[in-house]
Amino acid sequence: MYSYLLFDADGTLFDFKKSEASAFSRTFRLYGMSSPSDEVYARYHSINQSLWDALDRGEVTKDYLTIERFRRLFTEFDIGAPAESFNRDYLRLLGEGDFLLDGAHGFIHALRAARPDAYMAIITNGVAATQLSRFRRSSIRDCFDSIFISEEIGATKPDVRYFNGVLAGIPGYCEAYRRETVVIGDSPAADILGANNARLASVWYNPEHRENRTAAVPTYTASSYAEIERIINA
């Protein structure tokens, strides 16, 4: 039975796609534009994902990423909005998106009730101010002991320095507890590879049955919250 449960946020518990779409549209309207077309949003998503992938590989910084995604998009579609201030307002509105994935609320509350002595934490690569705002607004905030954000630690998943920073931040944690620690996340490239790098067990949350095209090797794979619960309580 695992006693230290490290949950990824977006795509694992939080519905980031819903939060992202809402904030994106609201920011366009804030700047006096109509809601963006499906083509514009799809292109933004492609640019954004490529930059986050580059961040995972250590090729760009988060500060560069958050502004560059809009700079590229606005250049490509000849949109006359300032990328830096647009990004600032987008992140503020994104911070209001505390939407959870279906079943996440019940799963986390049931797990907390069943495992009151377990240490439960959120681990995320998101922007600190945005992630803290979303977390504090969420209905699962009281179930977690901590939230560890890469921006505050100074390294991002899957870098082992990020995970070392997380473990160092857990009160009373020692090397012997590593075998009682498990990472639960939806991203092989960030969560599972990071767990591999840190010599931690992992659960790849994969409800869509995606193919793992990375070098990451999950200890377990789960397609539902019920499966995750069985694995971490076994």
Q: Are 189 and 56 in contact (CB under 8 A)?
A: yes
Distance CA 185, CA 125 (A): 12
Distance CA 30, CA 35 (A): 10
Q: Which helix (H) or strand (E) holds 222?
A: strand 220-222
Instruction: Give Cβ neighbours of residue 131 (< 8 Å, ≥ 6 apart).
Output: 9, 95, 124, 147, 149
Please tell me which residue in 8, 56, 159, 191 is annotated as part of the active site: 8
Sign of CA dihedral 31, 34, 37, 38: positive
Where do we find the tokens 């988060």?
A: 62
Where do we find the tokens 């079943």?
A: 103
Cα 127 from chain centre: 10
Determine if the peptide bond prior to 188 is cis (ω within 30°): no
**Is 10 annotated in the active site?**
no
- The residues assigned a catalytic role are 8
